[in-house]
Amino acid sequence: ATNMERKNVWTASDAAKKEMIFKFCEDYKKYISDCKTERECAAEAIKIAKKAGYKDLKTIIAKNGKLKAGDKVYACHMGKTLALFNIGKQPLENGMKILGAHIDSPRIDVKQNPLYEDSDMALLDTHYYGGIKKYQWVAMPLAIHGVVALKNGKTVDVVIGEDKNDPVVGVTDLLIHLAGEQMEKKGAKVVEGENLDILIGSIPEKAETKAEKDAKESVKTGMLRILKEKYGIEEEDFFSAELEVVPAGPARDYGIDRSMIMGYGHDDRVCAYTSLIAMLDVKDVDKTSVCLLVDKEEIGSVGATGMHSKFFENMVAEVLNCLGDYSEIKLRRALINSKMLSSDVSAAFDPLYPSAFEKKNAAFLGKGMVFNKFTGSRGKSGSNDCNAEFLGEIRNMLDKQKVCYQSAELGKVDVGGGGTIAYILAQYGMEVVDSGIPVLSMHAPWEIVSKADVYETMLGYKAFLIG
């Protein structure tokens, strides 16, 4: 069948499967509603994995440092990136089956010296993270999630704006009556990055002492008092804080038929969650299976918790060592002999913007798991461009398990482009291809996916691990 003839998952599903699709997506909706930062995603994934019998690799190393086939372990780095291993029957040097997704999403970050007062309003200065259309983030309810690390070594968790009794915060916009000049600007300049500051309060603190009466920033003083009372935070503690501003509220059913989900961070937590559940559902494996959930993809996979770091390679070395089988050459063989699905989302065809897509090679909502043989931009620049033989092997696996799937490019040639973590793992010489779920309104504060695609992709990941 050509891409245009691919089955619609809903049409191909009986009543029992449709029920499973809806049930699975209820759990997924809870996951992305509760987990809006990479730290929250990693912590919840560990909780789910522990229930499935996974143990902390650090604990294993500290006790006796031994692993065997059938053991299930996880390793977490800095609370933001996670690797799970289900040890297979074959020697690790024969390679692994890897599912890799990222758990960071575009957002607005609070700066290190953020709090200021202007015109009896208290605001937080910010710097956006990842690729966003800045104008989409104004005049909507936002929440603050993150941590504040104190000098005494304690870390304070902060979540403001998610409980139904919580206040929300946000970025104000200019009223249409005065926006003539603003409306003439190009989309990239309608709202400037330095104007994405978060309004958090407007009540001046009542002055009790002479010093307080002399102080000019009484609203800011009031904000600091509230933060001190609720979280024990002083102004200087912003220096060692990671506070992320995200859309407030839970993921919701989308469409009158409830066939879709509107949520923050489908890119790429929808692939992270389906990869995780597929990994946990496949109990005994021939080749060691791995689920990688990494940070920083949206800004180039950099830093100690991004895919460019040596964390994963180091953990493979630790596992080999615990299996009593470590050597540098076996580590290299384990990596080059591995096969990976880079689990990341793709752009879904949008009938409102057909000119951005080449329809024969576009992903469609409801048509199942999507594969991108290559990503990149212009002449496939920055792409992994996987081997034809690997795609043939994957087709065989999916067809055996009757999984609905499709292939796609990320829009028309020369219209744009994008990248994933695929090329980074491919540097080891392993087979890698991008695969995931089509998304509408990608990188917007609220994105849209089909429930059918979410469930079908989880089945696809399982088919890959079963192999």
Give the number of other CB atoms < 10 A from CB of residue 164.
6
DSSP H or E stretch at residue 253 = strand 252-254
Q: Tell me the C-alpha to C-alpha distance, in Å, between residue 90 and each of 54, 170, 210, 257, 284.
A: 19, 53, 75, 46, 12
Token pair in block for residue 365: 């909502």
53-71: per-residue pLDDT in tens? 999 999 999 998 899 999 9
Q: How many CB atoms lie within 10 A of CB 11?
A: 9
Q: How far is CA 374 from the centre of its chain?
A: 20
Identify which of 62, 64, 83, 66 has the alpha carbon closest to the alpha carbon of residue 74.
83
- pLDDT tops 80 at residue 417: no
Does 1 score more than 50 pLDDT? no
Number of Cβ within a 10 Å radius of residue 327: 12
Q: How far apart are CA 110 and CA 379, in angstroms?
A: 37
Q: What's the CA gap between 170 and 238, in Å, rounded?
A: 19
pLDDT over 80 (residue 28): yes
- Indicate whether 155 pLDDT > 90: yes
pLDDT higher than threshold 80 for residue 198: yes
Instruction: With beta carbons less than 8 A apart as the criterion, state whether 74 and 62 touch.
Output: no
Regarding predicted confidence, which is higher, 2 or 147? 147
- pLDDT of the residue at 75: 98
pTM: 0.95
Q: How many CB atoms lie within 10 A of CB 99?
A: 26
> SS3 of 99, please?
strand
Residue 285 pLDDT greater than 70, yes or no = yes
Distances (CA, A) of 449 to 134, 147, 341, 360, 413: 22, 29, 20, 20, 24
Name the pLDDT band for 213 (thresholds 50, 70, 90). low
- For residue 366, the model assigns a pLDDT of 97
Ordered strands of the 447-450 beta sheet? 252-254, 260-263, 447-450
User: CA-CA distance, 124 to 195, in Å (whole number)?
Assistant: 11
Is residue 346's pLDDT more than 80?
yes
The answer to whether the CB of 404 falls within 8 A of the CB of 13 is: no
pLDDT band with cut points at 50, 70 and 90 for residue 351: very high
Name the residue type at position 18.
Answer: K
CA distances (Å), origin 159, targets 16, 110, 225, 230, 384: 38, 14, 17, 11, 38
In this prediction, residue 188 carries a pLDDT of 94
pLDDT at 206: 80
The contacts found for 210-217 with CB under 8 angstroms, 24 or more apart, are: 216/117, 217/116, 217/117
121 phi, psi to nearest 5 deg = -130, 140
- Residue 440 burial class via C-beta count within 10 angstroms: exposed 0-12, middle 13-18, buried 19 and up: buried
At residue 209, the pLDDT reads 67
Q: What is the pLDDT of residues 214-255, one digit of tens each?
A: 667 899 999 999 999 999 999 999 999 999 999 999 999 999
Q: Which residue has the tokens 């104190």?
A: 150
Q: With 60 as the cut, is the pLDDT of residue 4 above it?
A: no
Cβ(467)–Cβ(287) under 8 Å? yes
> In angstroms, rounded to a whole number, what is the distance separating the alpha carbons of residues 438 and 449?
7
Q: What percent of the chain has pLDDT over 70?
A: 97
Residue 462 pLDDT class (50, 70, 90 cuts) = very high
pLDDT mean over 415-430? 89
For tokens 């909502």, name the residue. Answer: 365
Q: Mind listing the pLDDT tens digit for each residue in 77-114? A: 999 999 999 999 999 999 999 999 999 999 999 999 99
Identify the residue whose tokens are 């990671």: 242
User: If pLDDT is split at 50, 70 and 90, which confidence band does 2 have?
Assistant: low
* Residue 285 and residue 88 in contact, taking contact as beta carbons nearer than 8 Å: yes
- What is the predicted pLDDT for the residue at 210? 62
